[in-house]
Structure 1
């Protein structure tokens, strides 16, 4: 039988309004992409204590951090820029707690959008708070009228992203106004927009599969190549869990 790895996904959070209760939620593209890639998604609402977070991660083989609103730069010692729209404080606290434990465990992790930025800042990097001001010559990376706004991508061939996309012109879905400035130690840039904005990072540490994309391979406009990023991630999670593909069959077997 096929042994599908269990992948945790953090959920976003919306506070109660006058006519609606508070609720946790996640866009379908994230968990559907994990399902399509052969994993089992487990949705994780914001946790209120470390013990709960540890129990969640005990059950997971890997973790996907989704996108969303902005990380609050004050949590990393920077001032709040007027353009920043911080995510729910409870979600950010939970995400940072989960990410710290994931890094400690060297659990395979993939971050998308804000999720990539979280990996970077938790590991010692930092962010541009507003591309229009910090990189005024950059092309647009956000279009309020088009959630599937796309731009081209330059990739490093000797990387997971390079293996996925190969040669030729690449276009990806992009919707962000913050971006990585200094890359965290132990990571390297594996894709940029032609304007220089960092669009993907990967761990160079031999004991940790960790990667992030600023662009959104789970979006409605995703291509078949975009979906392969999730397949690579799920394969890495499966390998980390001590499983390998039998080349003579479609089954997965434990590695002794």
Structure 2
């Protein structure tokens, strides 16, 4: 059986003076896909929906990578002064990509801002600044520790429970925005002890959709974190097999 092909969105920087515009993606994302025995395919910020649909026809799954902040004005909220929005060209593409992935029920794994994007695409919303919206929360962005880690509570019976099992878990989660209201069809499967959502999973049997606020692809991740990508690739294979049987 051929390996699954996983599409990754990329970050984008507009031209600035003598520096040309360019796209890039952290190597940890595609290295994790490669280690999970799948083929990563980095997607440029396509503008034509027909082009994007044609590309999606070639993919077995989509990894929504992390990055800067989603612009809350696109969801009807005011711009908080702490928000540092994605480049508009990336955000327009990311939102179109996420919408089509959800409509077509393509297996998807969202990380960091990618999980937040998955949530807002399906009707959920976000806390714009944890220290203000949840003043009793633990620090989720430590200016003195770029590898900031905190403990995680995993929901029994979830995919993340299958990955991590029993015992205390510490993850590399560093952010100031977070999921507030959860999109329909999803369940919270991991959270910080202060209640901030760190993992979500779709509950229906017709779609594999997973999100983590923490970053299992980072160089501070553990060997167990890699298991999340393996589960994602298994989900893409099972979806492809189901489609083949129906066809």
CA distance, structure 1, for counterparts of residue 188 and residue 201 of structure 2: 7
- Indicate the SS of the match to 1:242: helix
1:1-256 map, 5 Å? 2-242=1-241
TM-score (norm 2): 0.96
Instruction: Quote how far apart the aligned CAs of 1:145 are.
Output: 4.3
Is residue 148–residue 219 contact of structure 1 (8 Å, CA) maintained in 2? Answer: no
TM-score (norm 1): 0.93
Deviations 1:178-201 (A, max 9, x none): 000000000000000001100000
Q: Please report the RMSD computed on the Cα atoms of aligned residues, expressed in angstroms.
A: 1.3
Q: Which runs of 5+ in 2 are unaligned?
A: none
Deviations 1:51-105 (A, max 9, x none): 1111111110000000000000000000000000000111111011111111111
- 1:251 aligned residue: none
CA distance, structure 1, for counterparts of residue 143 and residue 67 of structure 2: 14
Is residue 201–residue 211 contact of structure 1 (8 Å, CA) maintained in 2? Answer: yes
CA distance, structure 1, for counterparts of residue 62 and residue 133 of structure 2: 31
User: How many residues in Structure 1 have an aligned counterpart in Structure 2?
Assistant: 245
- Indicate the SS of the match to 1:241: helix
Structure 1 segments (4+ residues) deviating >6 Å: none
- Indicate the SS of the match to 1:153: strand
Q: Which runs of 5+ in 1 are unaligned?
A: 244-253
